[in-house]
Amino acid sequence: MCKWTKQSHNIAVPAALIGVSDFFELSVAVVISLFGPNSPVVLVTTVGVLTEVPVMLMLVKIVNKTKHWFPQPSFEKNI
């Protein structure tokens, strides 16, 4: 989405990482509200959140390799 809207890399990366991260927390909140805190479903969802760190590190590696896809912000062009 950020590439399509021609956002610079320094805007696109945080937007993507925050967007991905919010879904993990939202899933835990929804499961707790639907099934209660003692449900085994909550445990499974919590374990899913533990996968967030490796997934985010993988995404950082990907976005660092695709930096050339995005336009440079004007302040970096003069450096």
Block residue for tokens 């085994």: 40
Confidence category of residue 74, pLDDT binned at 50, 70, 90: low
Segment 50-71 mean pLDDT: 81
**Nearest by Cα to 54 from 66, 44, 62, 42:** 62
Residue 12 pLDDT: 78
If you write DSSP's letter for every residue of 27-55 in order, what string do you get?
Answer: HHHHHHHHH-TTSHHHHHHHHHHHTHHHH
Residue 76 pLDDT: 55
Angle of helix 40-50 relative to helix 9-35, nearest 10 degrees?
Answer: 170
Residue 43 pLDDT: 81
